[in-house]
Structure 1
């Protein structure tokens, strides 16, 4: 019941639909209850007429007119039931789709609000599978429940009241039927839900792996892993078959017990009605009416089984859904602070080049509770300055970028950014990013370029495309900038995708630029084209660069070297070349011909 109440609170905007569906169900129920009374009256009229004819008195006056009116009443009840039930069905269909839209939108909104740390521990396919399964089960249940609840309630109350009026022991037996059936159903519920949770876990894991394999299909095929991935996938669903078999066997065994008890109770009810009719306490019409009412009373009891089944599925589905909705982004992201507005600092000159754009102050950070990836990192980046981050692989370079973007919370210390504003959205509007992975979407080239500034005109899009050398290949495509590039830009080469990523950052025109190994995966020709665009993009802009070529590092204003998560040195390329530190070591390794030195150079993610 708590699940139903929570869903109702979560979708309170649908209350008019719930009320309309319940009103329609009430009308249908009233029309249905009227049928036994009409049939009973018709039975008594027919029996009296048959008795009169058999006794030689002829057909009673008005008998034909009465049965015709009763037949018309049955037609009217049937028509009302037909029209109103379909109207309720229409409202139910619209309500369920609106509910799907509400639940899906809020789920997506919550996912967008959750920090990067949440996605570090979840498979994309699992997140999607959870959405589809949970919302389907919730909407199916709510649509059914809103249609059946009023019908079940009104039918039960009406039949009990009529039974008390005619013969109170009938009502007593009916009152025994409902709790007995519910009690037996409750016995079934706990084990059923436990098995359902296990099934859902297997389905979610299989769906998550499915999405991952499809997204990495080239790797799967290259390593000839198709059969092992298929075995893993089918193994999960094999487990769901085993669990479903156990679950179904248990459910149907209990269902047989429930129905057996119900059959005994209704046997007693029918026996009483027949005996009371034979002894003259009920007329034939009353007997027909009561039998039909008992049949109507039996339907809600039997429907309880189906309602409980769908309710359990909805409860299991909503549990997964609300587990995500109940997550507090601040708690998931961990304790600590994210970048804030740069504070004014006394003694700094008025010249823009002297004022910092980014400041790291004694930053500590770790991806888990114990190990530190960054330990006491402090440095400033002045406005318009190009600063390269250099260090061994795993030394914290990309982590610094993730913290600057507010993807994770700093454990200790702080980060200040000019124009950070009061929230993460304001911060990120002031930072342009070109990652090693271009991370394109499945739309057109123009849409991908304008992703950071969707209001941009076509002229602005094409202007940055020319600056980033996108026009050279886009103009040769059949649909030009309107060419759909496929999921993650799969129809384009690595160099083409990266040039679009550069154009995207150009169009955003943010004052701070982050380049996270933006050309490391490119061939020499593509790198020259992309690097030309990057040089144009970095002009008169504050830039933080993780570069993989010494030639790129040598052209920056300053270098920050990292060793074991700490700042080792800060200085210009010329200063650090003579200091004997990491950068000097890289220069020496560049000119070495030994395999050991070349291997050592690769550990820095740097090539000569």
Structure 2
């Protein structure tokens, strides 16, 4: 019941539909209850008429008229029931679809609000499978429940009252049937739900792996892993067959017991009715009416089994659904992030406290007023890390006490061994994770994560395109952009070179993740996307590391244009552009080791100098060691 109440609270905007469906169900119940009374009256009228004819008295006056009117009454009851049940069915269909829309939209909204940390431990396919399964079970149950609940309740109350009026032991036996059936059903429920949860886990895992394999089908085929993936998928569903067998055996064994008890109770009821009719306490019409009422009373009791079954499925589904909905995005992001600062101090001014405690970022000074030289009087950095420490989950720190400042127009390179924390710095800058301690200040970041991310343009190593058109992907960061603006940045990023050759030009659908394009083409679209966004801060996350020489040359030309007059932090695989940056920051074991211009650090004997030496070396050992490094810049 708590599950039902929570779903009702969660979808309270559907209350008019719930009430309408219940009203229709009430009319259906009333029409159904009228039928035994009409049938009973018709039975008595016919029995009296047959008796008169048998005795030679002829057909009583008005007997034919009475039975015809009673037949018309049966027709009217049937028509009312037909109209009301179809109205209820219509409202139920619309209600369930609206409920699915509400639950799906809120689930998606919650997923969009959850930080990157949540997705680090969840398969995409599992998230989608959970949505489909949970919402299907919830909406299916609520539609059936709203249609059946009032009918069951009113039928039960009406039958009990009528039975008590005619002969109180009938009502007493019926009162015993309901709690006995519910008690036996409750005994079944605990084990059933436990097994259902296990089945859902297997289905979600199989669905998650299914989506992952489909998304990586080239890798699966190239490593000849089709059979092992199929076996793994089949094993999960094979386990659901085993669990279903155990679950069904338990359920139907208990159902046989429940229905056996119910049969005994109704046997007693029918015996009482037949005996009292034979002894003259009930007329034949009353006997027919009571037998029909007993049949109506039996149906709600038996429906309890189905209601409990679907309720259990809905409870299991809603548990998975609300586990996600109950997550606190700030808590999932990681406890320990400090309160944000709304605006960085400029020239000794006061810093205001930001009200969003869930983000590690702080708004800095307006970028338009920052000086181009570090430490210029009255200026503030565009990006500043202040004693930042961070780690994933419960593991040790990946970054420890990191502090640095980036000034307007600077190009900064981060150098260090793979796993040294360079990409983590970018993830923190984008607010994908909350810091454990320290603060991050970003000029013009605004009061929330959305405004922060609007001030930062990113080109990832994986372009991460969507399945729409070329134009739609370029305009993803600025959907309101005009076609002229889209095509202008496409020319700057050399997208027009291949877009003009596509079947529909910029309106060509590129397929999921841009599968119809080459790596270089996809990356050029990603550069154009960042250009159109026109954010004051640029992050290049290994934007050319996966490209061939020709594609890299085209993409790099677009990147050089993109970085012009912009504050840039770039993750790159090659050292070719390191000499062009203003400063290099080297990282060793999650801590800053050196900071300085390339010429200075090339002579310091530190990490950057070591990288230059390794690059010029021809020994296999040095080449192997070089692979351990990744470079931003």
Question: Could you tell me how far apart the structure 1 residues matched to 2:536 and 2:618 are?
Answer: 41
Equivalent residue for 1:572, pick from 592, 597, 607? 597
Question: What does 1:429-508 align with in structure 2 at a 5 Å threshold?
Answer: 429-508=454-533
Structure 2 partner of 1:105: 105
1:351 to 366, 371, 389: 371
Indicate which of 398, 402, 407 corresponds to 1:377. 402
Secondary structure of the residue aligned to 2:522 is helix
* Correspondence 1:388 to 2:413: yes
CA deviation after TM superposition for structure 1 residue 351, in Å: 3.2
**Separation (CA, whole Å) in 2 of partners of 1:143 and 1:606:** 57
Q: What does residue 310 of structure 1 align with?
A: 310
State the SS of the aligned residue for 1:337: coil
Aligned residues: 608
1:85 corresponds to 2:81? no
CA shift for structure 1 position 345: 4.8
Q: 2: CA distance between counterparts of 1:332 and 1:351?
A: 37
Provide the C-alpha distance between the structure 2 equivalents of 1:606 and 1:194, rounded to a whole number of angstroms. Answer: 51
Shift of the 252–350 alpha-carbon distance from structure 1 to 2, 3 Å rule, reads closer
Post-superposition CA distance 1:565-595 (Å, at most 9, x none): 1111111111111111111111111111101
Cα deviations across residues 294-325 of structure 1 (Å, max 9, x unaligned)? 00000000000000000000000000000000
> What are the equivalent positions in structure 2 for 1:7-406 lying under 5 Å apart?
7-337=7-337, 340-341=341-342, 343-346=344-347, 351-354=371-374, 355=379, 356-406=381-431
Moved more, 545-554 or 73-82: 545-554
Query: How far apart, in 2, do the equivalents of 1:7 and 1:388 lie?
Result: 52
What's the secondary structure of 2:382's corresponding residue?
strand
Structure 1: distance between partners of 2:573 and 2:187: 64
Instruction: Determine helix, strand or coil for the equivalent of 1:122.
Output: coil
Distance in 2 of aligned mates of 1:82 and 1:451: 51
Distance in 2, matches of 1:600 and 1:345, equals 44
2: CA distance between counterparts of 1:317 and 1:606? 46
Show CA shifts across 1:339-372 (max 9, x none): 7545125489963444410001111111132411
Distance in 2 between residues matched to 1:549 and 1:177, nearest whole Å: 79
Structure 1 unmatched runs, 5+ = none
Q: Tell me the distance in 2 between the aligned counterparts of 1:568 and 1:126.
A: 41
Q: Measure the CA separation in 2 of the matches of 1:228 and 1:21.
A: 50
Q: Which of 588, 610, 627 is the matching residue for 1:563? A: 588
Q: Give the C-alpha shift of residue 605 in structure 1.
A: 2.7
Q: Given that residues 342 and 359 in structure 1 are in contact (C-alpha distance below 8 angstroms), is that contact kept between their aligned partners in structure 2?
A: no
SS in 1 for 2:462: coil
Partner SS state of residue 457, structure 2: strand
Contact (CA 8 Å) 2:390, 2:398: kept in 1 or not?
yes
Q: Is residue 384–residue 441 contact of structure 2 (8 Å, CA) maintained in 1? A: yes
**Separation (CA, whole Å) in 2 of partners of 1:141 and 1:548:** 54
Per-residue deviation, residues 89-109 of structure 1 (Å, max 9, x unmatched): 000000000000000000001
Superposed structure 1 runs of 4+ greater than 6 Å apart = 347-350
| C-alpha displacement of 1:337 | 2.7
- Relative to the length of structure 1, the TM-score reads 0.98
